[in-house]
Amino acid sequence: MSAAVRLADAGGLEAATLPRVAEELNVTAMSLYRHVGTKHELLQLMMDAASELGEPASDSATGWREGLRQWAVDLWSLYRKRPWVPQVPINRAPSGPHQIAWLDRGFEQLVSTGLSWDEKLTALTLLSGFVRQSALLQQELEEGREAGQAQSESEREYGAALFALVDAERFPQVAAMLASEALAAEDPGEGEPARDFSAGLEIILDGLDARVAAARPE
C-alpha cells in the first residue's frame, strides 16, 4: 500500500487509482486486481496504511481528559499531514490494524471514567467525527482563501463586509455576533491546531466531563 499512499500524498485521493498503482509497482492492472478487487477496497487499505505514521508509541498525558485531548489532536495532525485521509468515504467500521490501534488508544484514555462500553464507543465516535469534519472544513476554507491569506484576516474581512449588509432588526443575533470580537481572534502558532477546532474540542470534552461525573458513584 506504500505505493498508493505515495501517489495520494503527491497528487491527492484522485491520483491513487488502481491502474496508477499498478504502473507504480511495474505490474499489470490485472495482476493487481487479484489482490485488490475494487477502488473502495484500495481506499480502505490505503487509509489504514497511512494511519500507521500517526499511531503513537505511548501517551504521557495525565488524566482521561488530557489523554483524550491529545488523542484528538494527534488525529487532527494526521489529517493535516495527509489531507486525503479524511476524504476517504466511511462505509464501514474501522477494521485495519492501525485504525484498531487508534480505537484502542482512545478506549485506554476512558478506562478510569466509569462509563459503560456503549458510552465510551459513543464518545469516541462523536470525537473522531468532529476531528474528521473539522479537518475537512479547514481544507475547504484554505482552498477558498487567496494564496498566502491567513484565516484570521479572511474572517475579519468577511465579518466587516457582512456587518455592513446585515439588518440588525431582522437578524439581531447575527448582528450582535458580528459586532463582537468573535471573528477577530489571531491565528494559532505554527503547527498548532486551528482555534475553532481547539474551542470545539473543549466543548465536547466539557460535555463528556459532565457525563463522567454523573457516572461515578456519590
The count of other CB atoms within 10 Å of the CB of residue 185 is: 14
State mean pLDDT over 96-109.
92
CATH topology classification for 62-150+187-215: Tetracycline Repressor; domain 2 (1.10.357)
DSSP state of 7: H
pLDDT at 172 over 60: yes
What's the CATH superfamily of 1-50? Homeodomain-like (1.10.10.60)
Domain ranges of the chain: 1-50, 62-150+187-215
- Asked whether the predicted pLDDT for residue 118 surpasses 80, the reply is yes
| Closest to 131 in 3D by CA, of 111, 102, 165, 170 | 102
pLDDT at 56: 54
pTM to 2 decimal places: 0.81
Stronger pLDDT, 212 or 146, i.e. the higher one: 212
pLDDT bracket for residue 93 (50, 70, 90): confident
Q: Can you say whether residue 34 is alpha, beta or left, with left for phi > 0 and alpha for psi between -120 and 50 degrees?
A: alpha
pLDDT of 55 strictly over 60:
no
Write the pLDDT tens digit of every residue in 146-155.
Answer: 777 776 777 7
Confidence of residue 215 (pLDDT cuts 50, 70, 90): confident
Tens-digit pLDDT profile for residues 18-42: 888 888 888 877 777 777 777 888 8
Q: Do domains 1-50 and 62-150+187-215 have the same CATH topology?
A: no
Q: Range with the lowest mean pLDDT among 13-27, 145-159, 196-210? A: 145-159
Q: Chain-wide mean pLDDT for the chain?
A: 85
